[in-house]
Amino acid sequence: MGSSAPLAIADICDAYSHLLTNGELRPLPPIFQIYGRSRVFSGHVVTVKCFEDNVLVREFLAQEGHGRVLVVDGCGSMRSAIIGGNLAKRAQNNGWVGIVVYGCIRDVDDINLCDIGVRALNSYPVKPSKKGNGEKHIPVTIAGTRVCDGDWLYADSDGILVSSMELNTV
């Protein structure tokens, strides 16, 4: 690997093992499926918690992403999708680099055409409600791992890491 190539997630774990030990670098459990064209992405985290409702997610993705990653705590629900093809396309067009959904997505074929990284537990065809329930910019727990608004997220085919600080990955 040349000095200009970004470090892979496994290499980050090796280079920053002390941060894994003290909890400043936290891997998410290996429960996420990989969607979208961007297999590798990283960025500043924005958090939202919503259960089977995507109004707040829609509001975020309508804003300029500025290279950020939206982390959606969908409470692990397998009863409706939080993100579909239209929202993934909106996220791509507005400059978001990634979306991590602790829940389901739908319109997988459409999402896989988008130049954005998407991780989700699985796909499910049922759309979410539109009541506007949820919370923004709060610490969330994704499968037992704490993710805070303002953290940094790094993802590739090996997994997802969350850090309380930006890491030098080149």
Is 151 part of any known ligand binding site? no
Is 106 part of any known ligand binding site? yes
Is 79 part of any known ligand binding site? no
Is 87 part of any known ligand binding site? yes
Is 84 part of any known ligand binding site? yes
Is 70 part of any known ligand binding site? no
Q: What is the DSSP string of the chain?
A: --TTSPPPHHHHHHHTHHHHHHTSEEEPPS-PEEESS-SSEEEEEEEEE-SSB-HHHHHHHTS--TT-EEEEE-TT--SSEEE-HHHHHHHHHTT--EEEEEEEE--HHHHTTSSSEEEEEEE--PPPB-S---EES--EEETTEEE-TT-EEEEETTEEEEESS-----
Binding residues for Mg(2+): 107
Q: Which residues are annotated as a binding site?
A: 84-87, 106-107
Binding site for substrate, by residue number, is 84-87, 106
